[in-house]
Structure 1
Amino acid sequence: MIFRLLASAAMISALSSAALANDGVIDVVAPFEIKSPDPTTSGNVFIKMDVAETLLNADAEGHLTPGLATEWQVSGDGLEWRFHLRDGVRFHDGSPFTAEAAANALNIARAKPGLLETAPIAGISAEGGEVVVRLTEPFAPLPAFFSEYRSLIYAPSAYAADGSVTQVIGTGAYRVTKLEAPLRLEAEAFADYWGAAPAIDRASYQAVGRAETRALLAESGDADYVFNLDPASTTRLSSVDGVEILTVSVPRTLLLKVNAGHPALSDPRARQALSMAIDREGLAEAILRFPAGGTQLFPPSLGEWHAEGVAPLAYNPEKARALLAELGWQPGPDGILVRNGERFSLTLTTFPDRPELPLSAAVLQQMFADIGVGMVIDSTNSSEIPVRHADGTLDLALLNRNFALVPDPVGTLLTDYAPDGDWGAMNWNNPEFLTLIRALARGEGGQAERDRAVAILQDDLPVIPIAWYQQSAAVSKGITGAVIDPYERTIGLKDIRWAE
């Protein structure tokens, strides 16, 4: 079982030969805590564990595919979307999945923080076997929003009268039998699932924050699928018998969130100087263990949003120093720049949930010191980033941003940059950019408009891209059928089987 404690490296070696054994439960381990039964806080766990489902799904290329909705269409004026629902579906409490239940779940979701609240929705209702969404203006990415984990569909009995979620009652291949927030979930196959029955009857999820511990569980055979490995563990586990490493490039970027209203950072030249101080390829190779320096915000995996024509962000510390000198900064006695009696010293907020973040922060601290910028690192809870954004105390934040929360990144851009967002721009507003993104959201414009939007971000740098990500998972060779999804929606749980 997953809770078995390992006393020594010798014990790990002894257990590795038994890694292919199984106890009838597929054990999944990841760093993400289960904060509550609510999809808006922990839907990323529930969708991976196949206990709840969305109206639409997305394949590995980001194309939308049927989920609880089998068809969808938009009216000629773009103001009404209709989603025809799958017949014969039941919730885990035995109640039928209906258009009324789906509309209820979506209305509750859009009343809470998330992508849906940013969409121009006038109303969501049920008509026959369809969910009907009426808009105040055309919004092309709407179907993609209904594939995001915060749009999971729960049964009416999952909600209290005030809309709070009391339990996970979805339609997935597995139903929750025990939820011990924040760390553990147990589930069993749902006998009345509308699709093919899972091959494995029982599953568990365990939140484990330390990357080293997650790797240990994979190595010992105590976990069958371990998600989100650190680079060092990935390298080590690749040589372990009984463990297979799955790796995929994902639309996720390591970036530096900048308070563009800070006196030292309000001029774009200051933000450009910080960007030029970063040796992206060196950092990516040393910390992430693969050469994927983020020379623009969107990685190549995002296709049409990766602008080939923009000049790549480059490492040039000499030019960085010259830009800062233009802004009146001069070296102080300890090498840190000074202007009008004020030191160029910043606090960078990050969090240890992803082990590469504190390590990357330490490397950035050295790189910025090389151009005369002092930086203090505060590694704390991830929730401090939006809190400090809101109260104005944030200088810099180091984080990774997933641009595939929905297959169309327009939704994330609207949340992060149009004009402000907890995880994106801070005190930055570019009217041209806002006009472009809102037009693209209406379904207007094309590649030229996307490229122009990327160019604005590249010049103004409201956030500073650093590296592009790969995602890795350690999978026991005792199972087959596991996948690693670039859109981080599924691990293929309902299709996993015990190896012959």
Structure 2
Amino acid sequence: MTLAPPPSALRRALLLSAAVSVSTAMAQTGPTTNARVLKVAAPWEIGSLDPSKTGYIFTRLEVTETLVDVDASGQLAPGLAVRWAVSPDQKTWRFALRPGAVFHDGSPVTPEAVVRSLQRALAQPGILKNTPVQRIAAVNGEVQIELKQAFTALPAFLAHNSTQVLAPASFAADNSVQAVVGSGPYKVVRVNAPQKLETAAFEGWTGKRPAVQRVEYLATGRGETRGMLAESGQADLVFTHDAVAIERLKRNPRLQFHTLPIPRTLYLKVNAAHPLLKDIKVRQAISLAIDRPGIAQAILREPKAAATQLFSPGMAEWHVPGLQPLVRDPGRARQLLQEAGWVAGADGLLRKDGRPFKLTLRTFSDRPEQPPMATAIQAQLREVGLDVAVAIMNASDIPAGHQDGSLELALVARNYALVPDPIGSLLQDFSPQGGDWGAMGWQSAQVTSALESLSTTNDPARRSRLRGALSTVLQAELPLIPVAWYQHTATHSKRVGNVSIDPLERSYRISQITWGL
């Protein structure tokens, strides 16, 4: 049963009340210094201090650093490592550290400290496990990484937030993370998990001293509440707005609105081993039932966001212009389902051998467009006879459902630039075992081979052929069903200046922000 929402004015009043309560709580728990505080609101809870789980929060807030960074154009740049080199056989990499770098507890950033963090990252579930790293050691004042085989994308993997470098004091005796002691321009002052995090400028930072000296981060799951925090001036920098609020936020004279396409795709994660989904005709029928232009226009308010393939045009190297585009064709969808043995009953819903076609589509509300998008997909699938229930859950229920096999369908969003080379995400998503946010119950020898070759070659022509072959297989077999290309949104108050939005979502760039009014 769907409950009608309260009247708009009442709903906004309730949300404003909640926003005031949240802001008051933040003020009551803040440090006692009189410095101005930059208040940041985003959907993402602080579920853990472990870099392998929610490390992105600490890199975005510039608390921690990685060996390799990424510049504004998306190219690899120095991070904690000022330079790196690889041996002629491409199997040994050496990274020279930034002179004078110190952790927030005053201890030096040594090769040994970096090695400990990277060895721990290698042992955890995460991006580094998908590399052929054989040994990480401190050698002659540098960090040396030895590989089992050539892997040209290694520096890009070392820019991922799960490889962030922490001080030895961050780790407990059992090697768990007990505190986040990084080396960035901001240090952690207080963590009130899962919602609040306070930072302050680090006095030992050797770079340019930031204008913003104090930051309060608030994880706010409801998009409407984030919008009210922005409109009421109780948050200075707010990320990920409800699409329905965009026009109102744009008209607000106290706010600067930002929107930009980023290399993130919204898609259906499919359990291809499920009895109802293992037939490729069924997956193709689901894809044909989806009205991508309608969803892009009505929910995302951006017609260009309708996905015709997995990778957006902004990912120039991976987007394949000549690929047969994904389209809507309900008639063809019904035909394919009939060919797969599914027959409509009196209620219009499909059955096969007496079994109804019933599935559950999981999604989560951290990204506010996903629940209404899931509901729209539910209605479109019902038009061709597929009975799909929508379950709004926690984001963690998606990988949990992958691991225990209970997941059937999920609407998720995947950022292909978390590792600057998309190969980092693809090796996770399309390994023979699948990935928490990628393929499930599906594998392809051709895709596996293409990914292995892409990770070991720099030849442009060969890389282009391999990318085209990989995209062609994914488009045909649909282990993931693309729906839309993501549009990132953010607002900032006029009391701050020099705000820029990172299209790769690596950093909130707080150290660059200046105070205005």
TM-score normalised by structure 1 residue count: 0.95
CA RMSD of aligned residues (A): 1.8
Q: CA deviation at 1:309?
A: 1.6
Aligned to 2:486: 469
Equivalent position SS for 1:272? helix
Identity of aligned residues (%): 46
Q: CA deviation at 1:23?
A: 6.6
Q: CA deviation at 1:40?
A: 1.6
What is the correspondence of 1:282-321 to structure 2 with a 5 Å cutoff? 282-291=294-303, 292-321=305-334
Distance between the aligned counterparts of 1:73 and 1:322, measured in 2? Answer: 56
Kept after mapping to 2: 8 A contact 1:121/1:134 = yes
Aligned to 1:430: 444
1:248 partner amino acid: L
Aligned CA distance change for structure 1 residues 334 and 481 (closer, same or farther; 3 Å): same
Q: CA deviation at 1:290?
A: 0.7
Equivalent position SS for 1:171? coil
1:481 counterpart = 2:494: no
Deviations 1:154-205 (A, max 9, x none): 1011111222111010001111111111111111111110211111211111
2:188 partner amino acid: V
Aligned CA distance change for structure 1 residues 323 and 68 (closer, same or farther; 3 Å): same
Q: CA deviation at 1:395?
A: 1.2
Equivalent position SS for 2:380? helix
1:267 counterpart = 2:284: no
Distance between the aligned counterparts of 1:397 and 1:86, measured in 2? Answer: 43
2:277 partner amino acid: L
1:277 partner amino acid: A
Equivalent position SS for 2:190? strand
1:34 partner amino acid: I
Kept after mapping to 1: 8 A contact 2:267/2:411 = yes
Task: Work out which of the residue numbers 381, 392, 401 in structure 2 matches 1:379.
Answer: 392
Aligned residues: 487
Task: Work out which of the residue numbers 97, 113, 118 in structure 2 matches 1:106.
Answer: 118
1:129 counterpart = 2:141: yes
Deviations 1:132-163 (A, max 9, x none): 11011111211111111111111011111222
What is the correspondence of 1:192-341 to structure 2 with a 5 Å cutoff? 192-291=204-303, 292-341=305-354
Task: Work out which of the residue numbers 417, 424, 435 in structure 2 matches 1:421.
Answer: 435
Q: CA deviation at 1:129?
A: 2.9
Aligned to 1:190: 202
Aligned CA distance change for structure 1 residues 393 and 129 (closer, same or farther; 3 Å): same
Equivalent position SS for 1:303? coil
1:63 partner amino acid: Q
2:442 partner amino acid: W
Q: CA deviation at 1:422?
A: 1.2
1:497 counterpart = 2:514: yes
Aligned to 1:143: 155
Kept after mapping to 1: 8 A contact 2:35/2:213 = no
Distance between the aligned counterparts of 1:416 and 1:226, measured in 2? Answer: 30
Distance between the aligned counterparts of 2:475 and 2:270, measured in 1? Answer: 14
2:46 partner amino acid: I
Could you tell me which runs of 5 or more consecutive residues in structure 1 were left unpaired when the two chains were aligned.
Answer: 1-5, 13-21
Distance between the aligned counterparts of 1:36 and 1:387, measured in 2? Answer: 16
1:26 counterpart = 2:38: yes
Aligned to 2:368: 355
Kept after mapping to 1: 8 A contact 2:15/2:225 = no
Distance between the aligned counterparts of 1:25 and 1:393, measured in 2? Answer: 44
Aligned to 1:35: 47
Aligned CA distance change for structure 1 residues 11 and 429 (closer, same or farther; 3 Å): closer
Distance between the aligned counterparts of 2:40 and 2:397, measured in 1? Answer: 28
Distance between the aligned counterparts of 2:146 and 2:489, measured in 1? Answer: 40
Aligned to 2:28: none
Distance between the aligned counterparts of 1:234 and 1:166, measured in 2? Answer: 39
Greater mean alpha carbon deviation, residues 388-397 or residues 26-35: 388-397
Distance between the aligned counterparts of 1:127 and 1:295, measured in 2? Answer: 48
Kept after mapping to 2: 8 A contact 1:99/1:128 = no
1:294 partner amino acid: A
1:482 partner amino acid: V
TM-score normalised by structure 2 residue count: 0.92
Kept after mapping to 2: 8 A contact 1:154/1:168 = yes
1:342 counterpart = 2:362: no
Q: CA deviation at 1:233?
A: 2.2
Distance between the aligned counterparts of 1:464 and 1:171, measured in 2? Answer: 40
1:396 counterpart = 2:409: yes
2:513 partner amino acid: I
Distance between the aligned counterparts of 2:350 and 2:40, measured in 1? Answer: 49
Kept after mapping to 2: 8 A contact 1:481/1:492 = no
Distance between the aligned counterparts of 2:245 and 2:69, measured in 1? Answer: 31
Distance between the aligned counterparts of 2:211 and 2:223, measured in 1? Answer: 29
Hey, which bits of structure 1, 4+ residues long, moved more than 3 A?
6-12
Q: CA deviation at 1:378?
A: 1.2
Kept after mapping to 2: 8 A contact 1:418/1:434 = yes
1:271 partner amino acid: R
Equivalent position SS for 1:284? helix
Equivalent position SS for 1:446? helix
Q: CA deviation at 1:407?
A: 0.9
Kept after mapping to 2: 8 A contact 1:275/1:313 = yes
Distance between the aligned counterparts of 1:111 and 1:288, measured in 2? Answer: 39
Could you tell me which runs of 5 or more consecutive residues in structure 2 were left unpaired when the two chains were aligned.
Answer: 1-11, 19-33
Distance between the aligned counterparts of 1:9 and 1:229, measured in 2? Answer: 14
2:110 partner amino acid: T
Aligned CA distance change for structure 1 residues 9 and 273 (closer, same or farther; 3 Å): closer
1:449 counterpart = 2:461: no
Q: CA deviation at 1:39?
A: 1.5
Greater mean alpha carbon deviation, residues 56-65 or residues 287-296: 56-65
1:87 counterpart = 2:104: no
Distance between the aligned counterparts of 1:163 and 1:302, measured in 2? Answer: 38
Aligned to 2:63: 51
Kept after mapping to 1: 8 A contact 2:363/2:392 = yes
Distance between the aligned counterparts of 2:328 and 2:36, measured in 1? Answer: 52
1:78 partner amino acid: Q
Task: Work out which of the residue numbers 411, 414, 420 in structure 2 matches 1:407.
Answer: 420
Deviations 1:51-99 (A, max 9, x none): 1111111123321111111111211111111111100111000001111
